[in-house]
Amino acid sequence: MLKSIRSASIMLGECVKMSLSNIRGNRARSFLTVLGILIGVAAVIALITTVNGFSGSLSSSFSSMGAGTLTMTVSGSDLKSGLTTGDLNELTKLEAIDGVTPSVSLSSRVSRGGNYETRISVSGKNAYYFQQNESLMKRGRTINISDEDSMTFVCIISPDMVKDFFYGVDPIGESLYIDGIPFRVIGLMNEDGDSSISGMMSGSPDILIPYTTAMKMNNVNVVTSVTAYLADGWTSETATEPLEARLDEMFSYEEDCYEIMDMSSIEETMTSMLNMVSALLAGIASIALVVGGIGIMNMMLTTVTERTTEIGLKKALGAIPWQIQTQFLIESFLLSIIGGAAGIALGLLLSLILSQAMGTGFEISTFAILLGAGFSAAVGILFGWAPARKASKLNPIDALRSV
């Protein structure tokens, strides 16, 4: 038993050496053959890694803005078109709700000195909003409660606005005209701007002002877009019910007055959609693997034909059929694995480049690597099987006679 294991391992070692020398001996052909597998594996890896990175950064931005929040879009009823400041205070009193942030959007003409720009996205926010988004501010002060209460004309501006209107000037304390009204700049936003869900959806606003001021400018006394931040221990599932109850009460139990968006369910939907897309794309890419496998099979069949004499000779020298089969199987396996390894490397490189270009996260997916390796190994064995079997079945006499 031990002896046969030893002799089998001696044989396998020699097969690997022999196969490598054959692969090296046919460099150009081996390279072309391997190319199919390489492209297939690279495509699968790049797709999976890129989609993973994308969904990773998506879910991290979702969780930064969405975890523990519920977003309400209020369409209102005939009697009550939105939520008043009083309603917001009411909602804040709910046990499930830590605080709320209204969002009042304007598209304004902004000017200073001789410069002006139109359709600048301005968003009205409250003081609580800044407590929840601490990383938003670069410098200066935030909008506070007294700004809300007295509807002051103060604003916080994005780096773009600084660049456009305050070249070479420190903007803080300076004034900026929004729809003709002078606002005092009190703070500057970071480059990333507003990463909240409402910010995401409206495109990051360039200017933030007190929401009460924004309501006055819009000539309305209600808000229609509100994000509720949940209190500790509450999830979007558990908090929805008391929130709905309170809102129903406010709208006198009329139907379709508001809609509550649950971030986590949206995230789930998007993630599962992304996964489906990625599976589909990977499926398409794996067609390349099959084509690569056929390439390997073709090369192996040619090799078997070319090396008929060698096979016959080896049989004459005492090689038994499984030894011949093993040798050819190892050769196709090695070809395929070499292609697979190069494909994994290329795929990772591609997805690194893609992630840099798209600004998404790059994360090496062990799953993708295992899949690529497993796939190429399987292709090598599967498509090498038939040629190897053919070789092992060759009659030694016919094989030797073909000289």
> Would you tell me which residues interact with other proteins (CB under 8 A)?
3-4, 6-8, 10-11, 14, 21-22, 25, 309-310, 313-323, 396-397, 400, 403
Q: How far is the CB of 395 from other proteins (least distance, A)?
A: 8
Q: How far is the CB of 378 from other proteins (least distance, A)?
A: 28
Which residue's CB is nearer to other proteins, number 5 or number 357? 5
Which residue's CB is nearer to other proteins, number 222 or number 399? 399
* The residue to which tokens 């971030």 are assigned: 263
Which residue's CB is nearer to other proteins, number 240 or number 308? 308
Which residue's CB is nearer to other proteins, number 253 or number 322? 322
Which residue's CB is nearer to other proteins, number 358 or number 397? 397
H or E segment to which residue 4 belongs:
helix 2-25
Q: Is 141 helix (H, G, I), strand (E, B) or coil?
A: coil
Annotate 140-162 with b (16+ C-beta within 10 A) or e (fewer): bebbeeebbeeebbbbbbbebbb
Which residue's CB is nearer to other proteins, number 125 or number 307? 307
175 CB-side CA count, 13 A: 10
Of 34, 68, 37, which Cα lies nearest the Cα of 237? 68
Q: How far is the CB of 8 from other proteins (least distance, A)?
A: 7
Within a 10 A sphere around the Cβ of 211, how many other Cβ atoms? Answer: 26
CA dist., res. 101 & res. 199, Å (int): 12
Q: Is 60 helix (H, G, I), strand (E, B) or coil?
A: helix
Q: How far is the CB of 384 from other proteins (least distance, A)?
A: 20
Q: How far is the CB of 315 from other proteins (least distance, A)?
A: 6
Q: How far is the CB of 24 from other proteins (least distance, A)?
A: 9
CA dist., res. 362 & res. 268, Å (int): 21
Of 334, 332, 346, which Cα lies nearest the Cα of 390? 332
CA dist., res. 70 & res. 354, Å (int): 33
